[in-house]
Each structure stands twice: as C-alpha cells, then as structure tokens.
Amino acid sequence: MTRLLLAALPGAAAPTDAPTDASTDASTDARGDTSDIGHDAGHDRGGAGATTPVEQSLTRLARALRDAGHEVVHAGQDVEERVVVAAAVQEDVAVVVLLAPAAYDAGQVVAALAAEAGGGPTAPTDAGTAQPDDEVVVVTAGPDEAADQVVRRVADRLAGQAAQ
C-alpha cells in the first residue's frame, strides 16, 4: 500500500467530474462516506461537511485513490506549498497529489521535497521529476481531470519509478 498526501492548493478549481453538491454522490449520506465503514470521517477524505466543489473533488479523489489501494493522508483545501512539503516529510509519503490551478507548475514543491530528502536538482517530468526510489513523486490534478485519470497517472508514475 502506497502512502500519499492529497491537498488542494489555493486557487484550485474542481475537476469536471465533481458533483455540484454532496447529495448527488450516491455513496454519501448526512454522516459522510458510508462505503468506507471503520475510517475516521474527516481524516482522509474531507469529512462529511464537504460542501464546496473543491472539497467534494478532494473527497472523490481521496476515495478513488483509496479504492485503488493507496493510503490517503488528506491535507485539505487551500494548503500553501510550504505546508504541503512539511506534511509530506512529516507523514513520510511516497506520493503527493495536488489539486491545482490549470497552469500550475509543481517545480517549487518538487525542488523543496528534493532538498528535504538531501537530493540535488532533478529533471522535471509530468509535474514531478525523474526521481530515485527515496524521493517523493509529485502529481498534479487540474480542473479538467477526472478522478480515475489521476489514479491512473499516480499508478503510471509509481510504476515508472519502480522500473528505474
């Protein structure tokens, strides 16, 4: 099971597959996600009160990532880059997934994570880097991506990292 950090940066827009309100998602009720009995509501998926489109997107993305076998640490909405880096280091995650504005460049997060890991500069690739095994993979999700596309990109990036 891969441990990953999920966060929405300031200015992030909800992906196009996000519902307009929590009642449109059949797997939730007034208490939150009922398909995941035993998990602390709010710890890894945004909580039962996810009312904004970005909060709902984080909830749906967290659920999709969890369903794909990942352990999700939910950092929340409007999280600054420095907080993302600190949380990624503290939680010892292998992947950081950022819900970000459309034209976002993850280079600063990648560089900060590499510096924290004691690594030097690395060549950027798909919103991340060609990284050694001990470095964190960074994947950004834009407003036009469905949750299953993000899950697939995370899997592809992890497979690419394992092949190196």
HEC letters along 23-78 = HHCCCEECCEECCCCCCCCCCCCCCCCCCCHHHHHHHHHHHHHHHCCCEEEEEECC
For residue 31, is pLDDT > 60? Answer: no
pLDDT value of residue 30? 36
Q: What does the alpha-carbon distance between residue 103 and residue 125 come to, in Å, rounded to a whole number?
A: 15
- 151-164: per-residue pLDDT in tens? 999 999 999 888 87
Domain 3-17+57-163 = CATH 3.30.460.80: no
Q: What does the alpha-carbon distance between residue 76 and residue 59 come to, in Å, rounded to a whole number?
A: 10
pLDDT value of residue 16? 60
Q: What does the alpha-carbon distance between residue 64 and residue 162 come to, in Å, rounded to a whole number?
A: 22
What is the pLDDT averaged over residues 109-116? 90
| CA distances in angstroms from 73 to 84, 90, 132, listed in the order given | 11, 11, 22
pTM: 0.71
For residue 80, is pLDDT > 60? Answer: yes
Q: pLDDT exceeding 90 applies to what percent of the chain?
A: 46
